[in-house]
Amino acid sequence: MEKDILSKEFFSSDERYADLINGLGFQGRQIVKKEDLQERDTQTCVRKMPSATKKNNTKLKNRDLIRKIAFGVNFAVIGIENQEAVDYALPLRSMIYDAGEYDKQAAQIRKTVRKDSVGLNAGEYLYGFKKNSRLYPTVTFILYYGKEEWDGAKDLYGILNFDEIPLEIKKLVQNYKVHIIEVRKLKDTTIFKTDIRQVFDFIRYSENPQKLKELVEHDEAYQSMEEDAYDMVAAYTDTKGLVNMKKYHKKGEKINMCGAISALVSEGEMKGMEKGVERGIKALIETCREFNISQEETFSQIIAKFNISTDDTEIYMNKYWKETDK
């Protein structure tokens, strides 16, 4: 819940929200400006179809973040959902969110239509929706921060049981696709122009201490990070040391991530992160021995895969190559 709150606070900035849409929806092209965004209630109603005689049964669902965006004289509604664990029923949940948003728009139209019933035909009056009434298109981006690769369904078909269902019937069933963005698998973060890039990059490389160190040292943006961006990094990388470093920081001031990382190194925090790398190196050495791969080739593979120095590689080889002989 804490991570969810931090993420909501981080993306509540219209500048970042617009940047995320431009990055994910337009491959980095600057189409949406922060001035194009309008606040929208995150509560979504899911209700039964309305009728002239029965009251609607409603169920409220809260979305993480949602904005109404102007495109010329028209609008689109774009939501963001944060996900850390795989939800195997996500296509259904996401579909309900979008359907609820459409229904909320339709409810507003019904109120307007029924205020002035002059000239309505029977269907328009009964359902409160004119022949020329239109809804705003709705899109939901799912930001997945989990370390494990997403192995859940990415569309509605993925959770439907079509066993022995005739193909003719399957073709009639509407599919619904989910827009899942695996933050740790992003190949290009230059599509983002705000500090979303630095936050996502830190999360992407959080399991690789060497690359993380290089990233922070070579990107000046890490020398002056906004507090909410720093909080996102600390939370989604589960780095307790970064959280503890905030004790020495004045609230509201920008934070030097380079200084924080240096302090963590001296405290041994990075060593704790390196344990994951060490396990991987040990497993690689054991596999190479099993398939009779030479020490020289194993040595080269370790450097290539884990991007560490020859001196460090030699230490690991001396430690684990001999261990496999036991």
Within 13 Å, how many C-alpha atoms sit on residue 40's CB side? 26
**Do 296 and 309 sit in the same domain of this protein?**
yes
| H runs (alpha helix) in the chain | 2-11, 14-26, 90-115, 122-127, 167-172, 196-204, 209-218, 227-236, 240-245, 257-267, 269-290, 295-306, 310-320
Contact partners, residue 99, CB within 8 Å, separation at least 6: 46
In a domain, 55, yes or no: yes
- Give me the mean pLDDT over the 286-301 stretch: 83
Regarding whether 250 and 161 lie in a shared domain, the answer is: no
pLDDT at 156: 97
- 52: tokens are 């002239």
Is residue 83 domain-shared with residue 34, that is, in the same domain? yes
Q: Is there a domain that residue 97 lies in?
A: yes
Distance CA 250, CA 237 (A): 22
Q: What is the pLDDT of residues 203-224, one digit of tens each?
A: 998 888 778 888 888 899 998 8
Instruction: List C-alpha distances in Å: 255 to 94, 154, 194, 242, 294.
Output: 36, 37, 16, 11, 47
The letter for the amino acid at 284 is: L
pLDDT at 211: 82
pLDDT of 289 > 90? The answer is no
Q: Are residues 52 and 176 in the same domain?
A: yes
d(C-alpha 4, C-alpha 9), whole Å: 9
Query: Which one, of 301, 62, 20, 64, lies nearest residue 181 by Cα?
Result: 20
The half-sphere exposure of 176 on its side-chain side, counting CA atoms within 13 A, is: 17
Residues 180 and 32 placed together within one structural domain of the fold: yes
Q: How many domains does the chain have?
A: 3
Based on the fold, state whether residues 167 and 292 are members of the same structural domain. Answer: no
Domain-embedded: residue 237: yes
- Are 60 and 175 found together in one domain? yes
Half-sphere exposure of 155 (CA within 13 A, CB side): 6
Among 23-27, 54-58, 298-302, the minimum mean pLDDT is found in 54-58
Q: State the amino acid at position 58 in one-letter form.
A: T
Q: Is 175 exposed, middle or buried (0-12, 13-18, 19+ CB in 10 A)?
A: exposed
Q: What is the pLDDT of residues 29-87, one digit of tens each?
A: 999 999 999 988 776 655 444 555 555 555 566 788 999 999 999 999 999 999 999 99
- Residue 285 CB contacts under 8 Å (≥ 6 apart), including other chains: 298, 302, 316, 317, 320, 321, 324
In a domain, 139, yes or no: yes
Is residue 50 located within the same domain as residue 120?
yes
Same domain, 37 and 113: yes
- 227 shares its domain with 302: no
Predicted local confidence at residue 237, as pLDDT: 86
251 and 290 housed in the same domain: no
Return the higher-pLDDT residue of 54 and 7. Answer: 7
Chain segment 242-276, per-residue pLDDT in tens: 777 776 677 778 888 877 776 666 555 566 566 67
**pLDDT tens digits, 227-243:** 999 999 988 988 777 77
Do 294 and 241 lie in one domain? The reply is no
Per-residue pLDDT tens over the stretch 140-192:
999 999 999 999 999 999 999 999 999 999 999 999 999 999 999 999 999 99
User: Does some domain include residue 31?
Assistant: yes
Q: How far apart are CA 212 and CA 238, in angstroms?
A: 15
- For the chain, the average pLDDT equals 86
What domain range is 318 assigned to? Answer: 272-325
Domain annotation covers residue 212: no
Mean pLDDT of 4-33: 95
The pLDDT value recorded for residue 49 is: 46
